Amino acid sequence: MEPTELRLDVFGRRMAVARRGDQWQVYLLSAEGKRRPAEISIPAALSAAEVPGYLADLLHEIATPRNSEVRLLP
């Protein structure tokens, strides 16, 4: 069974990606744990395993030498 929510560090920005029904919803996470909707669309057909790679492709322009990867957070 796939996870219903992923927490990621996307080139230094903390995000949560949640599966709601058949859609993905993306949120920006603050240091205090608050979340706000991000204006990012993820195709519904993607699996949870494909989401980090999709975000890396979509947001590669915000990468820096210090923050150069997308990684799952615990």
Mean pLDDT across 15-20: 96
Mean pLDDT across 2-30: 94
Kindly state whether residue 34 falls inside one of the protein's structural domains: yes
**What confidence category does residue 10 fall into, taking pLDDT thresholds of 50, 70 and 90?**
very high
Kindly state whether residue 35 falls inside one of the protein's structural domains: yes
| Amino acid letter, 48 | A
Kindly state whether residue 72 falls inside one of the protein's structural domains: no
Kindly state whether residue 16 falls inside one of the protein's structural domains: yes
Segments forming the whole domain that contains residue 30 = 5-65
More confident residue, 4 or 65: 65
The strand order across the sheet containing 13-20 reads 35-37, 23-29, 13-20, 5-10, 70-72
Domain count, the chain: 1
Kindly state whether residue 74 falls inside one of the protein's structural domains: no
Give pTM, 2 decimals: 0.91
**What confidence category does residue 2 fall into, taking pLDDT thresholds of 50, 70 and 90?**
low
